[in-house]
Amino acid sequence: PDIDSIDLARMEVLRGPQGTLYGSSNIGGLVKYVTVAPDPHSFDAVVSADGETLSHGGSGYALKGRVNIPLVPDVAALLVSGYDRDDPGFVSDDGRGARDVDETRSRGMRIAFLATPLEGLSIKAAAIGQNRSADGFSAVDADPLTRRPLYGDYRQRRAPGSEYYQTEVRLYYVSVNWDLGGSEFNQTTSYN
């Protein structure tokens, strides 16, 4: 998923290999996105609105929000966040008569729950959903020898409907951590 900045607590760069925790193909390390966790101690709300305009292109916006609600003080909390973002495009397709075909629309949300019902026991659950779509990609057709644009700056020609893409991401997980004194029980289950 494309984690939005309203949900990001921090980023960690972990040197490789990290195969034990993050899979056998993780030889060179990884960039880890750590999301904001629910806080059972205090209410918190954040709202953000952004706008942008591209030279040789269109304009875009981003609306974002996050709210943290303690359900049971010092024991359980619910965090809900969401965003609606339109990233402007700048590539035109003369064959289809379309401008800014690489404009991307993204919508997403995250719901996270945290409970600490007993000393040393924490239960976390979350659901992440995101939809992205665009009518084209940020590619300009160029001559392979001269590397000059074939149809002009910021232009391409594609068959109608060939460049459209849409992605849907759904991720669900539950994690239980229990400190048993001399040992610790950790369980994580996820579905993507």
User: What residue type is assigned to position 127 of the chain?
Assistant: A
Q: Is the pLDDT of residue 170 over 90?
A: yes
- What integer best gives the mean pLDDT of the chain? 90
The beta strands (E) that lie in the chain are given as: 8-15, 29-35, 44-53, 59-72, 76-87, 92-93, 104-118, 121-134, 155-156, 165-179, 184-191
Residues contacting residue 64 through CB under 8 Å, at least 6 positions apart: 4, 5, 6, 46, 47, 48, 49, 50, 81, 82, 83, 85
Q: How confident is the model at residue 4 (pLDDT cuts 50, 70, 90)?
A: confident
Q: Give the per-residue pLDDT at 178.
A: 95
Q: Give the per-residue pLDDT at 59.
A: 93
Rounded alpha-carbon distances, angstroms, from residue 168 to 14, 75, 95, 109, 192: 28, 33, 28, 12, 11
Which of 80, 85, 74, 186 shows the shortest CA–CA distance to 133? 85
Q: How confident is the model at residue 2 (pLDDT cuts 50, 70, 90)?
A: confident
8 Å CB contact between 33 and 5:
no
Q: Is the pLDDT of residue 22 over 80?
A: no
